[in-house]
Structures are given as C-alpha cells and as structure tokens.
Structure 1
Amino acid sequence: MSTTPPVLAAELAQAWADIQRHHPELPDLAAPESLIGESSSACGAELSFERLLHEAVHGIAAARGVRDTSRAGRYHNRRFLAIAEEMGLDHSEEPHPSSGFSLVTLSPEAKRRYRPTIERLQRALKAHSAATATDTKRSFRGPAARHGSSGGGVRVKAVCDCGRNVRVVPSVLAQAPIVCGGCGKPFRIPEAVGAAR
C-alpha cells in the first residue's frame, strides 16, 4: 500500500494551518482525509489549494454562526461571498443560478501570499494522483464525508441499460437495487469504471 495518502493528508493539514495563520478564527481541520476523493459540484470537484480555501470560507462561516449556503449546501449566498472576499477569493459579479457564488478563484494577492503553500500542495497532489492512477476495483479509498451532507463516501457512476447514469456510493447501491425510471432496469457500476478514468 502506498504511503502517499498519509503524506497528502499531512500536506492538507499543513496548508490549512497556513490559512489559519492569516485567519486565526478558522477552526482546525478535523479530518484532512475527508477532502481526498470528495467531489461536490457546488464546492468544486478538483482538490486544490483554491478548493481548500473555499472550504476554509465554510469553516469561518461555521465558526461565526453564519449560514452561508442554502438548498442543501448547493447555493452559496452573499454571506459566503463576503467571507470569501476577506480570505482573498475573487468571484463573478452575478451568482450562478443553482450554486450562487460558489465559483470563486484565487485573487492575485492570495496567490502571492500562499505561493509556497500552493506549490507544496500541488507536488503532494501530483504524487497522490500518480499513486492512485493504478487503483483497481479492489482498491479501498475510504469514506469522504463532507460537513453538512447526509452521506459520505466516494461516488461513482452507475448506469442502466438505456444509458442513463447516476452518481452513487457503491455501498448504497449494494444495499438494494436503484431502478431507472426510464427503462425499469437496475443501475449497475460498470466493470471498467477504474479504467475509464
């Protein structure tokens, strides 16, 4: 088994600590591993320093008792935006219809401030990607529970006979079939799901 995931978890924890130096009210990151393999269309699917800073905005909102999202965490409101601006994130002028102000990017100032942190994390992410590129269906990646979500675990694509697909945690699909409303057949995880990535 590769030692890369613990190294990546350590780098995530260090990057979080670097953010805390500039924003002391940011709570500790309880489980860096929860960000590895986690995907959220509202918060960003790709793990990066920008995504970590986005998550830190949610952390500060929680510490302040500010409700920064609605619609089950998908819509990022103007309270999220105000904290994001404090932390060096830029945004578009208009909110996205379904995710609000979730699409934030690093400002030039934040890129300068966190440059060494960003470079360290990018190296760790690159090593992690190389180590997990050989994952097979027998590889266990562990749960990736998100704050405020109802579930946890890495979601994979499941397909039915008519070609429709859904993202599902494999353990949920193993409990009972999920049936397609279009063709009436159960969704299944294709054998080559790891090879298709």
Structure 2
Amino acid sequence: MTVPKGAPGREGTRLISALEKCWAAIQAQHPEVPHVLFVSGTGIPKRGTEKPRRSKDAPRRQQLVTRGHHWADRWALAEDEGRLAELFIAGETVRDGGQAILQTALHEAAHALAHVRGIQDTAKGDARWHRREFAQLAREVGLQPPAKSAKPLGFSNCTLPEATLKKYAAVVRQLDGAALPALGTDEEQAETEPPETTPPGGGSTNGKRQTIECGCKPRRRIHVTPKILKGGGILCAVCTKPFTDPTAEAAQGDDELTGISHQPEPPAPDAAPTAELPHPRPGELAAEGDSSMRMQP
C-alpha cells in the first residue's frame, strides 16, 4: 500500500474541502444554489442489487456507474437548524480529474435548483430519467444538454462547453493540482470483487423451491429452498426420518441397477506390462454384419 505524502489521516479532509471549494465557486455564479453536505465513495453498483428478471432469457438491466447524486434534505443538523441535502461525488469521478468533478458538480447543482424551485426534473416512476425541465436547468448552470432524450437516462448526459470551462478554469486547476485521493480504475475494482458463482443447473437458485419427502407411508412432502436444505437436515416428527430429495435417491438407484460406481478409479500403474495379441486366423475374422465396433474412416 502506498502511503501518501504529508498527513495521511487528513486525506479525507482534503478531498471534502476541495469539493466544498468547487461548490462555493458554483454558488458564487448562481446564488440560488443551496448549501450541501458532501460525501464520497464508489459509484460502482454492488453485485446482486439489480432487480430480478422475470425470465432467465430476459436481458439484464444495464448497470451504470454513478458519477454523483443530489439527495435533498437528507442530513439533519443541530436542533432547530434545519436539514442539508447530500451531494455525492464518486471516487471514480475524482480519479478522472478536475474537469470531471466540475461537470458532475454542475449537474447536481441543476438538481439542487430544481428542488429549491419545486420543479419535477426527474420522472416520478424512475428517478434515473431526466426530464426536459432538467435540461433547461442544466443549461442555466452552464452545461450543454443533449438535443434529444436517450434511454435509460433521458436528458442526463450533458457536456461541458468551452465557455463554462474557461469560467471555472481556476477551479479545475486547483482540483488537478491538489492530487486528491481517488478510487482506482474499473478493472482494478473488479479484481478485488469475488467472482460470481453460477449453480450447476445454470442461472440463479434464489427463490426456487425443491420437493423433499420423508419415510412415511404415504410419504409426506414439503417444499424448501436450497439455502434452507443446505442449512441442515429436516426430521419428520412422525417417522423421525430425515426429509430427502427423491430425485437424488432415484438417480442413485439407477446407478446401482446399471452398475455405475461413483468411486474414483484406482490410479494406473506406472509401467504396466503389455502382451501382444496373436493375429487372428483367416477363419476367425469377423464376418460382415456382426456387432463388433468399427473405426470410422
């Protein structure tokens, strides 16, 4: 692990302080933009958080890296001092430098203005979808919204015009020169995450139940999830025998009938002696149409 120069314990303070200075510069240009409380972290969504698909053949919902977000009135201040919005800037955004930080901060400033003015700038059913009202606010704070909305984010993907970049040039230089702590590349983050495991049957077993039965006559059956079954045996209160998977028992019975053994074969000797078979006599050659195996040409 690389130890940063200076005071390592103050790296978080330096990061938040730099973000607050950037926000103050935006407020100087747009006084209506409110105060916020900055937080940071990874913008990469956690595994397993996406909504379950209705069919295993249905496409997965696209997972997007969160560059930042504005959460109105999330933080409570001291008694009778009101609340502050949360403004999140991802560590991956910080990694991309001052221009990326400024562009994300301006994007969230547009959301902050929408809250102050009581404007619905995202869809009620899906907060990811940015409405045309957001595009107007983004243009007001200096961003260039897309000409048309696009799935899955609507008018979200704004760009940073050259005129706005010149206006905040000093802010960008300060952010780049601060050498702020940031998160690594997406590939580096992926290496630290455990690999996804796929059950033998293919696909997820979450929520799928299997039938197990006891030794009663007639047999009593219950339905449980694989997770419950792996947690320990379940005993029947009537016959006192454990509930088992009938399909597994049937497969074992078929193996016994066919003579299939699941025991590992003993290792072959290193140098087993071989004997050369005698050549068959002309009368012993297999007749045409017999059941012997033939190699295909």
Question: What's the TM-score bracket when you normalise by the shorter of the two chains?
Answer: 0.5 to 0.7
Alignment partner of 1:11 is 2:65 = no
Retained in 1: the 8 A contact 2:43–2:66? no
Gap regions ≥5 residues in structure 1: 134-155, 164-180, 187-197
Aligned-pair CA distance for 1:38: 4.0
Hey, what does 2:113 align to over in structure 1? 60
Hey, what does 2:134 align to over in structure 1? 80
Hey, what does 1:160 align to over in structure 2? 196
Task: Please list the CA deviations of residues 112-132 of structure 1 after superposition, one character each: whole Å capped at 9, or x if unmatched.
Answer: 1001111212334x4312xx6
Q: Distance in 1 between matches of 2:134 and 2:141?
A: 11
| TM score, norm. by length of structure 1 | 0.63
* Counterpart code for 1:52: A
More relative contact order, 1 or 2 (CA 8 Å, 6+ apart): 1
Structure 1 residues 62 and 43: alpha-carbon distance in aligned structure 2, compared to 1, 3 A threshold: farther
Gap regions ≥5 residues in structure 2: 1-7, 46-63, 68-89, 94-100, 185-191, 208-297
What aligned pairs does 1:48-127 form with structure 2 within 5 A after superposition?
A: 48-70=101-123, 71-124=125-178, 126-127=179-180
Aligned-pair CA distance for 1:43: 5.8
Task: Please list the CA deviations of residues 57-109 of structure 1 after superposition, one character each: whole Å capped at 9, or x if unmatched.
Answer: 11111111111111432001110000000111012211112100110111111
Retained in 2: the 8 A contact 1:76–1:100? yes
| TM score, norm. by length of structure 2 | 0.43
Percent identical pairs in the alignment equals 28
Larger CA Rg, structure 1 vs 2: 2
Q: Distance in 1 between matches of 2:138 and 2:65?
A: 14
Alignment partner of 1:182 is 2:203 = yes
Structure 1 residues 15 and 39: alpha-carbon distance in aligned structure 2, compared to 1, 3 A threshold: farther
Retained in 2: the 8 A contact 1:91–1:101? yes
Q: What SS is found at the alignment partner of 2:180?
A: helix
Aligned-pair CA distance for 1:162: 2.0
Q: Distance in 1 between matches of 2:131 and 2:66?
A: 13
Question: Larger % of helix: which?
Answer: 1
Q: Distance in 2 between matches of 1:27 and 1:69?
A: 19
Runs of 4 or more off by more than 6 Å in structure 1? none
Q: Distance in 2 between matches of 1:42 and 1:63?
A: 26
Q: Distance in 2 between matches of 1:51 and 1:128?
A: 17
